[in-house]
Structure 1
Amino acid sequence: MFTYKINEDTELRLLEVRHAEALFALTDESRSYLKEWLPWLDFTQTVNDSKQYIEGTLKQFSSNNGFQAGIWYKGELAGVIGLHSINWANQSTSIGYWLGKKFQGNGFMTIACKALVDYCFSELKLNRIEIRVATENVKSQKIPQRIGFQKEGCIRNAEWLYDKFVDHYVFGLLREEYNNKELLSE
């Protein structure tokens, strides 16, 4: 199973079925907060929904097409980060993430994204990583900007969000930029 230690208190771990209750609890307690930008919350109403989601992500992992990892802080699930899929022919992927409300503002997502970028370029040998963020989600846009992603453009009406379409900014990072800038050295 995938585990990536970030620091003494924080690690990324592949979500497993046994994490369904913790995932649902975090989702449910942050529901109103998360619903502003995430379209899937209405489909996550029970622990079983979280379990089915995890089972799907394990199939994704076993088919070598990305994965979803829990962000664990001092043994507690703080959020989720992962690769939507991997385009092996073009050596590219995109990262998605969310953090429980009570974990916001502590830099967890920035360090988790840095770790995942490092893993994608160093271990998976990918060439390009994208992060797409709603144009009005300013807080989430700061994460790729902090770690050296370039804002490449805007995709209009990219996502249906409950009652309206939202536009997405596309942020991209190439391995050569990562290697040249040593983005993960602190």
Structure 2
Amino acid sequence: MCAIARVLIIWKVTMFAITLGEDGAELRPLEPRHAGELLAHIDRGREFIGRYVGLPDVVTDLESSRAWLRSYADKAATDTGRLYGIWTDGELVGGVLFRTMDVEHGSAEAGCWLEPSAVGKGLVTRAIRVIIDWAIRDRGIHRVEWHAAAANEASVAVARRLGMTRDGVLRESYLHKGTRLDMEIWSVLAPEWQALQGVR
């Protein structure tokens, strides 16, 4: 049994946490009850996280943190998105999500963020690998997309490490802090993912 399969079995049984490796990192659902933790985490890395994503502009106080988490609880309830936190040594340091999820059409868009203390440890790659595997195996998702600002080298590197294909660039399509950014679109299809994971 492959490591991802073992992790998915553990996840289904516990529904609380997935170990992401031997460094104490865990992937857990990020829920409205974590509003204070999320706000503290965003405050620790607000400028760094906000270089390419708008999350720090949305989570500015406890109520906005709770509202954003509620919006993803609603998405989970309607099967249109998912949100997970990455914890190391008991502290929330980042997250991964399906920003959109269309089970009927078999497509989803994955994303991530990290605070500076968690960068360079492979946490996002490991966490995204788990949620993509779940989406394809358990939810029947056929295409998972990854959108990254072309200047965001770390995010582009994650797409490459995951074996995604660069579909193209949407030129100046994302207005962020008054600047129009080129967005790279990467994707992986279910048969490609299964081949990458050694599934026959």
Superposition deviation, residue 113 in structure 1:
1.1
Task: State yes or no: 1:90 paired with 2:105.
Answer: yes
1:35 to 27, 34, 50: 50
The amino acid of 1:92's aligned partner reads S
Higher mean alpha-carbon deviation, 34-43 vs 3-12, is at 3-12
- Is the 1:147–1:183 Cα contact (8 Å) retained in structure 2? no
Q: Which has the higher helix share?
A: 2
- Is the 1:134–1:167 Cα contact (8 Å) retained in structure 2? yes
What is the CA–CA distance in structure 2 between the aligned matches of 1:126 and 1:11, rounded to whole Å? 24
How big is each residue's C-alpha offset from its partner over 1:136-156, in whole Å with a ceiling of 9 and x where there is no partner?
A: 111111001001001110112
How big is each residue's C-alpha offset from its partner over 1:105-145, in whole Å with a ceiling of 9 and x where there is no partner?
A: 11111101111111111111211100000011111110010
1:73 to 79, 88, 95: 88
Task: State yes or no: 1:51 paired with 2:50.
Answer: no
The match for 2:114 is 99
The match for 1:123 is 138
- Is the 2:86–2:92 Cα contact (8 Å) retained in structure 1? yes
What is the CA–CA distance in structure 2 between the aligned matches of 1:7 and 1:124, rounded to whole Å? 24
Superposition deviation, residue 31 in structure 1:
0.8
Task: State yes or no: 1:137 paired with 2:161.
Answer: no
> Which structure ranks higher in relative contact order (CA pairs < 8 Å, sequence separation ≥ 6)?
1
Superposition deviation, residue 52 in structure 1:
0.9
Task: State yes or no: 1:109 paired with 2:124.
Answer: yes
The match for 2:170 is 155
Runs of 4+ in 1 over 6 A off after TM superposition: none
For structure 2, list consecutive stretches of 5 or more residues without a partner in the other structure: 1-13
The match for 2:28 is 13
Superposition deviation, residue 3 in structure 1:
4.1
Secondary structure in 1 matching 2:64: helix
What is the CA–CA distance in structure 1 between the aligned matches of 2:53 and 2:35, rounded to whole Å? 19
Superposition deviation, residue 19 in structure 1:
0.7
Distance 1:62 1:164, change over 3 A: same
RMSD over aligned CA atoms reads 1.8
- Is the 1:12–1:70 Cα contact (8 Å) retained in structure 2? yes
The amino acid of 1:54's aligned partner reads L
